[in-house]
């Protein structure tokens, strides 16, 4: 009985160690991609939501926002 408990404890602890190692490997990949998570509150809600993006996605979002700002300034100035 004690040998069975010891064997089960060994298997469970081995599973935890293996799980931790796989998490570290994915963390390295996330660092390379510039992966980052942040709490974002949507308009009209006080409940934050978790938003995770890569560095490339944030760059693209920033470019899109700048394009929309330029378009709105052209429309307001009457040049368009």
CA quadruple 21, 25, 26, 31: dihedral sign: positive
Residue with more model confidence, 17 or 66 = 66
Determine the average pLDDT of the residues in 25-52.
86
Task: Write out pLDDT tens, residues 42-80.
Answer: 999 999 999 999 999 999 999 999 999 999 988 888 765
Residue with more model confidence, 75 or 39 = 39
Instruction: Return contacts of 34-37, CB within 8 angstroms, 24+ apart.
Output: 34/58
pLDDT (0 to 100) of residue 12? 58
Count Cβ atoms below 10 Å from residue 63 Cβ, excluding itself. Answer: 10
Average pLDDT, the chain: 78
């Amino acid at each position: 009985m004690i040998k069975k408990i010891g064997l089960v404890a060994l298997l469970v602890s081995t599973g935890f160690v293996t799980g931790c190692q796989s998490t570290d490997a994915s963390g390295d990949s996330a660092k390379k991609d510039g992966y980052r998570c942040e709490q974002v509150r949507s308009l009209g809600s006080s409940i934050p939501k978790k938003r995770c993006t890569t560095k490339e996605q944030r760059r693209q979002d920033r470019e899109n926002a700048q394009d929309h700002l330029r378009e709105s300034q052209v429309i307001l100035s009457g040049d368009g």
